[in-house]
Amino acid sequence: MRQEPLRLVNQQSPRSQRRQRQAQQRSSCCCCLVVVISLIVVLVAFRGPAANWLARAGKRPQQTRPSVLFPLELAANKQAYFRYALVELRATLVDHQGRAVVADEDLLVTVTCDGEVVTTIGNVDRIRLKYNRSTQQYSTYWPVPWNAKPGQYAAETRIEITDAENWPWRTEQEQKQARDEEPAKIEGKTWCVARVRFEIVAAEKPEFAPGTCIATWEPDFRATGIPKPEGGTGDWKAMLDWCEYVGADTFWFRGAVTEVYQGKLTMEQPFNAVNLEAIPKLAAEAHRRGIKFGAWAVAYSTYPKSNKNKPPYDFAIDVSRSTGKSSEREFISLLDERRIDHLAEFVRLMEQEENVDYIGFDYFRTDRGGYEMVDKFTREMPVRLPEQWNDYSLSRKQRHVAVKIEEQWQSSPDFYDCWNWWRAHLGAHILRKIREKSQATKPIWIFVLSWRHGVQHGQDPVMLTDAGVTLLAPMLYQVKNRQMFDTMTREWNEYLRADQVNIAVGDQVDFYWHQKMLVPAAPEELYDRIVTAHQEYQPGDAMTRGAFWHDISRAAVWGNRGPYPGREWALAGAAAFTTIRNNWGVHPLRVSLNSLQRNSGSAFTADLSIQNLSNKEITDIAVKLMDTPLIESTGKQQRRIKGLGPKETILVPFEGRVTGPSAARASRFMVALRVTWPRGDYGKQFRADLPCQQTVMKYLQIGSSEPRRAH
DSSP state string for 162-204: S-GGGS--S-HHHHHHTTTSPPPPP-SBEEEEEEEEEEE--PP
- Mean pLDDT over residues 672-698, rounded? 97
Q: Would the pLDDT of 32 be above 70? A: no
Residues in Cβ contact with 28 at an 8 Å cutoff, skipping those fewer than 6 apart: none
Q: How many CB atoms lie within 10 A of CB 398?
A: 24
Q: Would the pLDDT of 357 be above 70? A: yes
Rounded Cα–Cα distance for residues 75 and 481 (Å): 50
Q: Would the pLDDT of 28 be above 50? A: no
Q: For the chain, what is the largest distance between any 2 Cα atoms, rounded to a whole number of angstroms?
A: 110
* Contact of 673 with 623, CB cutoff 8 Å: yes
Q: Would the pLDDT of 35 be above 50? A: no
CA atoms in the 13 A half-sphere facing the CB of 380? 18
With a pLDDT cut of 70, the percent of the chain lying above it is 86
User: How does DSSP classify residue 533?
Assistant: H
**pLDDT score at 709:** 59
Residue 404: its H or E element: helix 394-406
Q: How many CB atoms lie within 10 A of CB 264?
A: 10
Task: Give the residue from 606, 579, 574, 575 showing the smallest Cα distance to 590.
Answer: 579
**pLDDT score at 46:** 33
Q: How many CB atoms lie within 10 A of CB 653?
A: 13
- Mean pLDDT over residues 85-90, rounded? 97
pLDDT in tens, 571-598: 999 999 999 999 999 999 999 999 999 9
**pLDDT score at 286:** 98
| Angle formed at CA 556 by CA 553 and CA 559, multiple of 5 degrees | 65
Work out the pLDDT band at 106, boundaries 50, 70, 90. confident
Q: Give the residue from 200, 222, 256 where a domain finishes.
A: 200
In a domain, 568, yes or no: yes
- Mean pLDDT over residues 250-263, rounded? 96
Q: Would the pLDDT of 351 be above 90? A: yes
CA atoms in the 13 A half-sphere facing the CB of 665? 26
Kindly state whether residues 114 and 241 are assigned to the same domain: no
Domain count, the chain: 3
In a domain, 129, yes or no: yes
Kindly state whether residues 168 and 265 are assigned to the same domain: no
**pLDDT score at 513:** 96
Q: Would the pLDDT of 702 be above 70? A: yes
Q: Give the residue from 166, 200, 234 where a domain finishes.
A: 200
Q: How buried is residue 325: exposed, middle or buried, by Cβ count under 10 Å (0-12/13-18/19+)? A: exposed
Rounded Cα–Cα distance for residues 119 and 110 (Å): 9
- Mean pLDDT over residues 277-296, rounded? 98
In a domain, 377, yes or no: no
Residue 606: its H or E element: strand 603-612
Kindly state whether residues 638 and 677 are assigned to the same domain: yes
Query: Pairing mode, if any, of strands 517-519 and 708-709?
Result: antiparallel
Selected residue with higher pLDDT from 178 and 109: 109
In a domain, 410, yes or no: no
Domain at 355, CATH number: 3.20.20.80
Kindly state whether residues 84 and 114 are assigned to the same domain: yes
Q: What is the rounded average pLDDT for all residues in the chain? A: 88
**pLDDT score at 322:** 83
Asked if the bond preceding 661 is cis, omega within 30° of 0, the reply is no
Task: Give the residue from 214, 258, 276, 241 showing the smallest Cα distance to 545.
Answer: 214
Work out the pLDDT band at 282, boundaries 50, 70, 90. very high
Kindly state whether residues 54 and 191 are assigned to the same domain: yes
In a domain, 301, yes or no: yes
Which stretches of 289-393 are DSSP H helices?
A: 337-352, 374-380
Task: Give the residue from 147, 200, 203, 151 showing the smallest Cα distance to 496.
Answer: 147
Q: How buried is residue 408: exposed, middle or buried, by Cβ count under 10 Å (0-12/13-18/19+)? A: middle
One-letter amino acid of 41? V
Residue 74: its H or E element: strand 72-76
Kindly state whether residues 179 and 235 are assigned to the same domain: no
Kindly state whether residues 221 and 192 are assigned to the same domain: no
Could you tell me the residue range of the domain that residue 481 belongs to? 212-322+329-367+425-584
pTM: 0.88
Q: Give the residue from 200, 229, 261 where a domain finishes.
A: 200
Kindly state whether residues 274 and 342 are assigned to the same domain: yes
Q: How many CB atoms lie within 10 A of CB 534?
A: 23
Task: Give the residue from 375, 306, 302, 370 showing the smallest Cα distance to 339.
Answer: 302
Domain at 618, CATH number: 2.60.40.10
Domain at 52, CATH number: 2.60.40.1930
| Total residue length of the chain | 711
- Mean pLDDT over residues 287-311, rounded? 97
Rounded Cα–Cα distance for residues 449 and 529 (Å): 15
Kindly state whether residues 185 and 223 are assigned to the same domain: no
Task: Give the residue from 237, 236, 239, 269 showing the smallest Cα distance to 251.
Answer: 239
**pLDDT score at 160:** 86
Kindly state whether residues 99 and 171 are assigned to the same domain: yes
In a domain, 207, yes or no: no
Kindly state whether residues 535 and 441 are assigned to the same domain: yes
pLDDT in tens, 538-580: 999 999 999 999 999 999 999 999 999 999 999 999 999 999 9
Residues in Cβ contact with 451 at an 8 Å cutoff, skipping those fewer than 6 apart: 457, 488
Rounded Cα–Cα distance for residues 71 and 91 (Å): 10
* β-strand partners of 193: 41, 158
**pLDDT score at 705:** 60
Kindly state whether residues 568 and 636 are assigned to the same domain: no
In a domain, 408, yes or no: no
Task: Give the residue from 600, 652, 663, 597 showing the smallest Cα distance to 630.
Answer: 663
Selected residue with higher pLDDT from 687 and 188: 687
- Mean pLDDT over residues 386-406, rounded? 95
- Mean pLDDT over residues 589-618, rounded? 95
User: How does DSSP classify residue 375?
Assistant: H
The 3-state DSSP class for residue 23 equals: helix
With a pLDDT cut of 90, the percent of the chain lying above it is 79
Out of 56-65, 68-77, 593-602, pick the least confident: 56-65
In a domain, 339, yes or no: yes
Out of 47-51, 187-191, 262-266, 454-458, pick the least confident: 47-51
Work out the pLDDT band at 115, boundaries 50, 70, 90. very high
**pLDDT score at 176:** 67
